Structure 1
């Protein structure tokens, strides 16, 4: 099984650099890392070029024009570029535990997608990490929320990671799935513009296509840097796309990853 790690980003190179540093500490590296860039300025491209020079695996940069929040299309571009059998996606503000990739690879199962948890970091701790570009987080670290989510315990993870038959509380900041399943449902829906629901609709179509959701606990640990919430003005339109997918029991979208496949 080969793996591709896909990192979404938009104009926050300071966070992206800490995330890339956390990739370098992985006990098991993915076969490649792809930055899914939703139209960042040139300074993000310069940062990626600096890391490409010495990165131990291919570090690819997928970029699209800045036409507003288009995370769905940005991820599709990156996933179309991916060569791995198994795709792990994270946000560009998710700093990784050293066993993050190893845990996801261990947990992978056929016809299943994994939904990982996150440790929320409060503003002061986030500021410190961005300044020093260093971190060491334990369940006893001050400035964190969801302390149980800091633990990586493979034996217990195997026992306690459970299937869930719905999209409740789904988030794409820490997910993994087989590339063949992504192609089968045509990836994320490019109709989503603005924050919200593109991950829920993607997961709904996976479930409708017979791909099982499993929640990864005590493993696949990511530390979510604090930031202000995105504007939610697009939610009514995005909620409608999600509602239609649920009502129609959709397994595929019309405008998806196929637009970027060669």
Structure 2
């Protein structure tokens, strides 16, 4: 990254019917040391509880916060993310899920990794059900916990990994597998607005869970945008939720995308 890049960031936080987790995410964003950002809540049809939460937090938090909502017609994550992106003029997008809490240097490190012609993929540390429940019920500021505390939770088996929470220098992480799409998750993905618009954003043909983030990355790579690894630089703390298999239609759509083109590595 050149020293001159300090992008204005739009954090696009997707959510559906989980206001307690969304509140934890918003409070963690209020702890950020990097302040050149706004937050767009991309709401795929939640009820009034989420709207009320965002309205309340808009008055209380120290950053611009907006709520973009669409009617609940089933899973349409791609569509609401595109609508949220259309609501901001910021030059750099960080896509985040509404159950992914971020540490205070998350956006500062994303800003330092920002580089023209590249998107940044970050990792996640998954909390188990009990730790997630406790954190939400007690309002624990888990984003401020030390590496020592997280090591203790790992030894207890309450998180699935520890190494992404270590503070690793950013330099060696910049250019790993630049044409690889595997492993990229939309819960922690950064891309320049111009690159996102050049491929027409997320494919709204995905109307079931899974693969819309992989599809975006494939089209970015085919359009000349390269991957920049942030696995040990910008982790998120992913609160527990029940796992679900990808929708068969989404898998089939993505497989057709892979067959249609070129220029990728696994």
User: How far apart are the structure 2 equivalents of 1:111 and 1:151?
Assistant: 27
Q: Any conservation in 2 of the 1:87–1:176 contact (CA below 8 Å)?
A: yes
1:162 aligns with 2:168: no
Using the alignment, how far apart are the partners of 1:208 and 1:63 within structure 2?
A: 31
In structure 2, distance between residues paired with 1:5 and 1:152: 22
Does the alignment pair 1:175 with 2:163? no
Matching of residues 207-226 of structure 1 within 5 Å: 207-226=221-240
* Structure 1 residues 217 and 81: CA distance shift in structure 2, 3 A: same
How far, CA to CA, are the matches of 2:113 and 2:98 in structure 1? Answer: 22
Structure 2 unpaired stretches of 5+: 1-6
Show structure 1 runs of 5+ residues with no match.
252-262
**Which range moved further: 106-115 or 159-168?**
159-168
Query: Which residue number in structure 1 is paired with residue 162 of structure 2?
Result: 147
Q: CA RMSD in A?
A: 1.6
Relative to structure 1, is the Cα distance of residues 122 and 229 closer, same or farther in structure 2, using a 3 angstrom cutoff? same
* Runs of 4+ with >3 A deviation: none
| Count of matched residue positions in the alignment of Structure 1 and Structure 2 | 247
Q: 1:218 Cα shift?
A: 2.6
Residue 237 of structure 1: CA displacement?
1.3
Superposed counterparts of 1:15-54, under 5 Å = 15-54=21-60
Question: Could you tell me how far apart the structure 1 residues matched to 2:160 and 2:256 are?
Answer: 34
Report the secondary structure of 1:141's partner residue. Answer: helix
> What is the CA distance between 1:250 and its match in structure 2?
8.4
Question: Could you report, residue by residue, the CA deviation over 1:131-151 in whole angstroms, capped at 9, with x for unpaired residues?
Answer: 111122524131111100112
Deviation per CA, 1:23-46: give whole Å up to 9, x if none.
011111242100000000000000
User: What residue is the counterpart of 1:74 in the other structure?
Assistant: 80
Q: Structure 1 30/39 Cα, relative in aligned 2: closer, same or farther at 3 Å?
A: farther
In 2, distance between residues paired with 1:90 and 1:152? Answer: 21
TM-score by length of 1: 0.90
Separation in 2 of the partners of 1:237 and 1:217? 29
Distance in 1, Cα, partners of 2:22 & 2:200? 27
- Residue by residue over 1:53-82, the C-alpha shift from the partner in whole angstroms, topping out at 9 and shown as x without a partner, is 122221010100001111111100101112
TM-score (normalised: structure 2)? 0.89
**How much does 1:159 deviate?**
1.4
Assess, with a 3 A threshold, how the Cα gap between structure 1 residues 120 and 90 changes in structure 2: closer, same or farther.
same
**CA distance in structure 2 between the aligned counterparts of 1:102 and 1:189, rounded to whole angstroms:** 29
**Alignment partner, residue 3 of structure 2:** none
Q: Which residue, out of 136, 150, 156, partners 1:130?
A: 136
